[in-house]
């Protein structure tokens, strides 16, 4: 602590380290994740692949219900239940096609979300909220920001309690994130389409949604290709690895408009092919095959009901939501 | 404590009266239904429009939750900068420019919310966000389409008498795009402070409304949103031309 105190009491060092923390304390973990996950990883995590294991056989509606219940449980219970849920759902990725790879990507995404969310919450949480969260604790100051940082909304002292509060709140986000992506990677667009038709969502909305659903992984693929093409032309050639990352980001931004134009131009062929198959020619749609409710769904229903019971019980024994979200 | 931490606090000192919020959303909904009925509602969209809306919403999700949120972390967090939000604005304006039918703004925001629920939030805060985002951000775009008679950002506008003077026509279109984009950007800066800081925040989390914060947020959001509204409208003109629609 004495070392830290001597660092932030020197104005020059305080400024240098503070800006380092702002820029790289946030950006560096993200960059590391970007190097490790990359756009390929995002394609992997947002794209459906055919599979035969348990989760592929569950009805899409059941998976949506599971996601909603995880979200509710994480938001009405104490933070460590959200953390436990995250840690329980993560190994499910191992059961998928290419399980180890997907598991690796999703673990990195979770870590990146945790770091990012913690850093997005901790410096801004005012002391009076921390006092409510940790009522009988003396705040331990970890770092003191330069006074002008208050213009960016920073609380002058970064305390250990603020960091812990950041991590606790971040775990609520990760539980829903990993549950939501599980639906995305295990459900085919056509199954989701059938399920939405079954619960009578208007066809126009379902159709746009499905186009979006299909397009998200495609956007990552196209951006990846476009960045590679720019690299081939010599963008960031011969530059050190750290600087090249900034070229990568620059290339990514430059790739956005061409990707958009490419996709919007392709929209015409998709629309024509849908129209030639008499899309929306009739009021109601008849389906060849409806996603069945199988024994796997009943197992999931069991899990969902247990989660709801867990939420009720934890609230009754005093482990309900204890973190104030005040002002966030 | 209410359900799911929602306290349902209304009429807190400084909170926007709930009657005003209800009246706004009721009128907005009435407008949506009235125009929907007049123009044929969801059926009025061609399949191509629906594809544009789907692609646009997907792009907004990719930007707001993956690319934009990473870029945003390189910048100091201040209410003056909203990388994720600006990106969404640019994309929604482009989709609106491609479709140019009343309802396209609202439907794009609606699909964006649905997709972000599936990919990110897990249906947290629904159905509130469907109503809130579609009937504020989406509705503003649709009202602009209605006012301009479907010639949003000057697309398809032919100046009287001088239609054959291409240079003058292009300049007029650009001016129209800049003005309309600027106005829309200004409008997009309003809902978050007014409805979120002034009503939804106190309603859900029961925090005390702070009008100094609301005014500061308004002042902080407007410059960036206006600039990006203008950039979005010019970009929309270019992309509509490139798509050849």
**Average pLDDT of the residues in A104-114:** 83
Confidence at residue A327, expressed as pLDDT on a 0 to 100 scale: 37
Determine which of A72-76, A204-208, B72-76 has the lowest per-residue pLDDT on average.
Answer: B72-76
* Chain centre to alpha carbon of residue B69: 18
Maximum distance among all Cα pairs of chain B, rounded to whole angstroms: 67
CB contact under 8 A, B55 and A212: yes
Question: B153 with B177: CB under 8 angstroms?
Answer: yes
pLDDT tens, B197-245?
888 777 766 667 778 778 888 888 888 889 999 999 998 888 888 887 6
In this model, does residue A233 exceed pLDDT 80? Answer: yes
A30, A116, A212 member nearest B111 (Cβ): A212
Say what the pLDDT of residue B93 is: 92
Write out pLDDT tens, residues A132-158. 777 777 888 888 888 887 776 788 888
Q: Which of A120, A176, A219 sits opposite B59 (nearest CB)?
A: A219
Is residue A275 very low, low, confident or very high in pLDDT (cuts 50, 70, 90)? confident
| pLDDT tens digits along A30-49 | 666 667 777 777 777 777 77
In terms of pLDDT, which residue wins out, B200 or A288? B200
Report which of residues A22 and B185 the model is more confident about.
B185
**ipTM for the assembly:** 0.79
Alpha helices in B15-103 (DSSP H): 18-39, 47-61, 68-72, 83-99
CA B245 to CA B240: how far, in whole Å?
A: 6
B residues 9..48 contacting A (CB < 8 A): 42-43, 45-48
Residue A219 and residue B57: Cβ atoms within 8 Å? Answer: no
pLDDT in tens, A247-269: 877 888 888 888 888 888 888 88
Distance from CA of A153 to the nearest CA of B (A): 7
Predicted confidence at residue A326, as pLDDT, reads 42
Query: Is 60 exceeded by the pLDDT of residue A328?
Result: no
Looking at chain B, which runs of residues are DSSP E strands?
Answer: none
| Radius of gyration for the alpha carbons in chain B, expressed in angstroms and rounded | 19
Residues 31-70 of A with CB under 8 A from B: 34, 42, 46, 64, 67-68, 70
**C-alpha Rg value of chain A to the nearest Å:** 24
Set of chain B residues whose Cβ sits within 8 Å of the Cβ of A179: 122
Q: Report residue A224's pLDDT band, with 50, 70 and 90 as the boundaries.
A: confident
| pLDDT less than 50: residues of chain B | 1-6
CA closest to A70 among chain B residues: B122
Which of B54, B120, B122 lies closest to A212 in CB terms? B54
**Strand, coil or helix: A305:** helix
Name the strand (E) or helix (H) holding A178: helix A160-186
Which residue of chain B is at minimal alpha-carbon distance from A112?
Answer: B70
Min Cα–Cα distance to chain B from A224, Å: 12
């Amino acid at each position: 602590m004495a070392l830290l105190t001597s660092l932030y009491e020197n104005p020059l060092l305080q400024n240098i380290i503070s800006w380092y923390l702002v820029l790289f304390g946030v950006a560096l973990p993200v960059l590391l994740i970007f190097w490790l996950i990359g756009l390929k990883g995002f394609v992997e995590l947002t794209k459906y692949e055919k599979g035969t294991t348990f989760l592929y056989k569950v009805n899409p509606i059941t998976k949506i219900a599971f996601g909603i219940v995880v979200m509710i449980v994480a938001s009405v219970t104490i933070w460590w239940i959200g953390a436990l849920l995250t840690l329980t759902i993560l190994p499910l990725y191992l059961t998928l096609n290419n399980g180890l790879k997907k598991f690796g990507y999703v673990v990195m995404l979770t870590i990146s979300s945790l770091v990012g969310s913690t850093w997005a919450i901790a410096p801004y949480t005012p002391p009076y909220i921390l006092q409510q969260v940790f009522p009988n604790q003396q705040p331990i100051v970890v770092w003191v920001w330069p006074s002008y940082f208050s213009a960016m909304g920073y609380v002058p002292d970064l305390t250990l309690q603020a960091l812990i509060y950041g991590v606790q709140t971040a775990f609520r986000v990760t539980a829903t994130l990993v549950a939501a992506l599980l639906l995305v990677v295990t459900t085919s667009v056509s199954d989701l389409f059938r399920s939405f038709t079954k619960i009578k969502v208007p066809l126009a909305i379902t159709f746009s949604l499905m186009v979006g659903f299909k397009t998200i992984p495609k956007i990552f693929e196209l951006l990846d290709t476009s960045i590679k093409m720019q690299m081939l032309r010599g963008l960031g050639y011969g530059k050190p690895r750290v600087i090249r990352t900034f070229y990568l980001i620059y290339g990514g931004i430059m790739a956005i408009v061409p990707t958009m134009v490419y996709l919007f131009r392709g929209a015409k062929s998709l629309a024509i092919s849908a129209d030639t198959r008499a899309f929306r020619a009739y009021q109601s749609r008849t389906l060849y095959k409806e996603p069945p409710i199988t024994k796997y769904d009943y197992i999931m229903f069991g899990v969902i009901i247990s989660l709801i019971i867990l939420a009720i019980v934890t609230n009754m024994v005093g482990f309900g939501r204890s973190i104030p979200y005040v002002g966030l | 404590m209410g359900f799911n931490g929602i306290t349902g606090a209304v009429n807190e000192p400084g909170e926007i009266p709930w009657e005003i919020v209800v009246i706004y959303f009721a009128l907005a909904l009435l407008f949506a239904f009235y125009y929907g009925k007049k123009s044929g509602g969801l059926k009025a969209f061609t399949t191509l429009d629906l594809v544009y809306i789907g692609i646009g919403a997907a792009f907004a999700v990719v930007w707001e939750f993956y690319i934009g949120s990473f870029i945003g972390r390189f910048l100091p967090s201040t209410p003056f900068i909203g990388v994720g939000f600006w990106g969404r604005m640019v994309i929604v304006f482009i989709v609106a420019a491609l479709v140019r039918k009343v309802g396209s703004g609202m439907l794009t925001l609606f699909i964006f919310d649905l997709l972000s629920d599936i990919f990110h939030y897990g249906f947290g805060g629904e159905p509130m966000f469907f109503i809130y985002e579609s009937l504020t951000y989406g509705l503003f775009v649709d009202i602009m389409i209605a006012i301009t008679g479907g010639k949003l950002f000057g697309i398809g506008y032919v100046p009287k008498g001088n239609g054959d003077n291409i240079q003058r026509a292009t300049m007029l279109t650009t001016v129209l795009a800049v003005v309309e984009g600027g106005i829309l950007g200004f409008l997009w800066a309003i809902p978050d402070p007014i409805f979120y800081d002034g009503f939804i925040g106190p309603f859900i989390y029961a925090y005390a409304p702070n009008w100094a914060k609301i005014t500061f947020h308004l002042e902080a959001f407007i410059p960036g949103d206006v600039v990006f509204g203008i950039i979005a409208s010019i970009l929309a003109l270019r992309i509509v031309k490139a798509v050849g629609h």
